[in-house]
Amino acid sequence: MENKEWYIIDAEKAILGRLASKVASILKGKHKPSYLPHIDNGDYIVVVNAKNINVTGNKLEGKIYYKHSGYVGNLKSICLGDMLKKDPSHVIKNAVKGMLPKNSLGRSMIKKLKIYNDDKHEHHAQKPKKLGL
Digit-coded pLDDT (tens) for 85-120? 999 999 999 999 999 999 999 999 999 999 999 999
Q: How far apart are CA 95 and CA 11, in angstroms?
A: 14
CATH 3.90.1180.10 fits 6-55+86-121+126-130, yes or no: yes
Q: How far apart are CA 19 and CA 54, in angstroms?
A: 10
Q: Is residue 84 within 8 Å of residue 91, measured between CB atoms?
A: yes
Domain ranges of the chain: 6-55+86-121+126-130
Digit-coded pLDDT (tens) for 17-48? 999 999 999 999 999 999 999 999 999 999 99
pLDDT of residue 133: 79
Q: How far apart are CA 80 and CA 102, in angstroms?
A: 23
Digit-coded pLDDT (tens) for 60-81? 999 999 999 999 999 999 999 9
pLDDT of residue 1: 58
Helix, strand, or coil (residue 47): strand
Q: Does the pLDDT of residue 3 top 90, yes or no? A: no
pLDDT of residue 98: 96
pLDDT band at 132 (very low <50, low <70, confident <90, very high): confident
